[in-house]
Structure 1
Amino acid sequence: MMEKDKKVALIDMGTNTFHLLITQIQEGSEPNDLVRIKEPVKLGEGGISHGEIAPAAYARALQTLKGFKSLIDQHGAEEVKAMATSAVRNAANGPDLIQDIAAETGITVEIIDGDLEAELIYYGVKSALEIGFEKSLLMDIGGGSVEFIICDDHQVFWKQSFEIGAQRLLDKFFITDPLEEHAIEALKLYLQEQLTPLAEAVARCKPTVLIGSSGTFDTLCDIDSKRKGLDREQDCCPEADLPLADFYEIYEDILRKNRSERLAIPGMLEMRVDMIVMAIILIDFVLENYSINKIRVSAYALKEGMLYRMLNQEHK
């Protein structure tokens, strides 16, 4: 077990968004979050489909980590844990970025593989909600990769990371805006090819619930809440339900609109305004093909999974 009564900083360098969580660990009580922020770094923009981090994205990453380091120092965090995912692990200049971050901020970043990413997402979701005894399919849509985990509250039955994140799909399929029907069908055929291992695992394990992890799913819940005249406080309640009928109303609305119209949707975030098109088609594909009729949403994901693993070292 890790040492208690200390402040820790957790950094998730995602392909689209960088997250920083600074929390205070105290013996006998729940962690007390001091800082919880996300920055739209868009690390995969302009280069992910070519196996590199583009210069502008590289510069944004360094600048963001410098800002994170300033906050970490302000709060006096004694331990810093940083992880990088799909964009960095697949980029030829990913190791250079990690070296530059270390040189300019003193932060050591671990590049993790998709298997560990999926495991940490599972622990993050467990921190947000009770999965229960029924088998669920966890889904985390990143900019570079998408993680799927079939599990219940006690164990993981199957997990895999697929390099079909929303930025990669944008680069490949987002030719017109709004997207034309033939492009949507081409995307779904591509997903069918890429997700064959998932289809086989679903057929074996038969999950009945989709649990969406953070990111796009948070934005969909925010849009749904705004449509109902409600305000959603993720920090107060890290779990939400997204009724299927509501999802499909939002789905149809988003697919009809161009970028400026999507941006005007209450609850939409600028950093997701394009990627969400790819993401909702992916969600629809999963619902349609795997006979799942319920969506739950976890506001927690990888960084909370990092914290869970730090607090429960036996799960390493």
Structure 2
Amino acid sequence: MRVRKFAAIDIGSNAVRLLTHNVIEEKGKKTQFRKSALIRVPVRLGEDSFTVGEISERNIERIINTMKAFKLLMDVAGVEKYRACATSAMREANNGNEVIQRIKEEAGIQIDLIDGKQEAAIIASTDLKELINDHQSYLYIDVGGGSTEFTLFTGGNIKISKSFKLGTVRLLKGLVKEETWEKLEDWIRQNTKGLQKISIIGSGGNINKLHKMSGRKEGEPLSYIWLNAQYNFLTSLSYEDRVSELGLNPDRADVIIPAAQIFLSSAKWSGTKKIYVPKIGLSDGIIKTLYSDNMS
């Protein structure tokens, strides 16, 4: 048996994450991927990028310090290979490339700037296919702070993928036009028309938290009815009450509402009644592709 360590850094619009996996290789057996640790730091780059068009010096310092810490943690853990990917907030910032260069020089971390299509492709390389029944259709939705990636599976294969500039931080800041919602509705209705037994597979920190709050067991889906009721309950509370009474983290208590809105709207337009939450996302996909590339 051989145990190897791989890591993924996901630089999103709402938070930055370091995920490490133990990759277990054993002759004659399927390679196993087991999560070792997940560290999340709430550096909300999207608040800068989507409002003023560039990342502030304060957040540049925070992201550099975060990357320095991640580098030390990966060294201590004995990580063999890593990949760091930045999405919409860094991509849309006027000084995004300068920030990436500073991170490389000061923290020693090389960052890949990926677009929505690349993000969707990486996510699709996760264990999604193991969760998918060939006789059903699934709309996979990964809600981020700056954008949301949609992938439609039919017959066990990807039919179509698309990224929309519809993220939780963008919605909080009132930066999403009605036209974007309309385009999403048209896309979902058009591509799910005529499909039977369609379910949603949701990913992202917010839907993971909602699933945990529901008390459901792992693998048990959320119902549209429950999510709608929970959305109404959350919106009836003040931000302060969501933090103090529900125990939500301050950087989760605001974005969880627009995230629920995205899932509810998508479920309504696709005629979906169930939302599965397998707790996989971009970071998991990065590790899978990293390992696959390393083996080829």
TM-score w.r.t. the length of structure 2 is: 0.88
2:240 alignment counterpart: 260
Between Structure 1 and Structure 2, which shows a larger proportion of strand residues? 2
Displacement of 1:52 in angstroms is 1.8
**1:49, 1:220 → 2: CA distance?**
27
Change (3 A) 1:248 1:194: closer
- Which residue identity does 2:214 align to in structure 1? D
- Which residue identity does 1:307 align to in structure 2? I
Secondary structure class of the residue paired with 2:151: strand
Pick from 85, 88, 91: which aligns with 2:87? Answer: 85
**How far does the alpha carbon of each residue in 1:212-245 deviate from its partner, in whole angstroms, 9 at most, with x for none?**
11311011112212xxxx8x7xxxx5x4421233
2:274 alignment counterpart: 294
**2:155, 2:40 → 1: CA distance?**
28
Contact 1:125 1:298 in 2 (8 A): no
1:224 alignment counterpart: 214
Contact 1:45 1:54 in 2 (8 A): no
Displacement of 1:82 in angstroms is 0.7
**1:88, 1:200 → 2: CA distance?**
31
RMSD: 2.7
Secondary structure class of the residue paired with 1:305: helix
Displacement of 1:104 in angstroms is 1.3
Change (3 A) 1:49 1:257: same
**2:247, 2:125 → 1: CA distance?**
27
Alignment of 1:177-188 (within 5 A): none
Alignment of 1:128-167 (within 5 A): 130-133=131-134, 134-152=136-154, 154-167=156-169
TM-score w.r.t. the length of structure 1 is: 0.83
1:56 alignment counterpart: 58
101-110 or 266-275, larger mean C-alpha shift: 266-275
Displacement of 1:159 in angstroms is 0.3
Alignment of 1:97-112 (within 5 A): 97-112=99-114
1:180 alignment counterpart: none
1:31 alignment counterpart: 33
Pick from 238, 248, 271: which aligns with 2:251? Answer: 271
Contact 1:11 1:18 in 2 (8 A): yes
Contact 1:16 1:40 in 2 (8 A): yes
Pick from 14, 17, 22: which aligns with 2:15? Answer: 17
2:172 alignment counterpart: 170
**2:9, 2:16 → 1: CA distance?**
7
**1:65, 1:295 → 2: CA distance?**
34
Q: Is there any run of 5+ residues in structure 1 with no aligned partner, and where?
A: 174-185
**How far does the alpha carbon of each residue in 1:34-69 deviate from its partner, in whole angstroms, 9 at most, with x for none?**
322222111112332333223332222112111111
**How far does the alpha carbon of each residue in 1:161-200 deviate from its partner, in whole angstroms, 9 at most, with x for none?**
1111111111117xxxxxxxxxxxx977751245433332
Residues 1:7 and 2:8 are matched in the alignment: no
Displacement of 1:16 in angstroms is 0.8
2:230 alignment counterpart: 250
Q: Is there any run of 5+ residues in structure 2 with no aligned partner, and where?
A: none
Secondary structure class of the residue paired with 1:95: helix
Percent sequence identity is 28
**2:184, 2:227 → 1: CA distance?**
24
* Runs of 4+ in structure 1 over 6 Å off: 186-189
**1:245, 1:105 → 2: CA distance?**
46
Change (3 A) 1:206 1:14: farther
**1:79, 1:218 → 2: CA distance?**
27
Change (3 A) 1:47 1:296: same
118-127 or 284-293, larger mean C-alpha shift: 118-127
1:183 alignment counterpart: none
**1:187, 1:279 → 2: CA distance?**
16
2:188 alignment counterpart: 198
The aligned length equals: 290
Contact 1:84 1:111 in 2 (8 A): yes
Secondary structure class of the residue paired with 2:132: coil
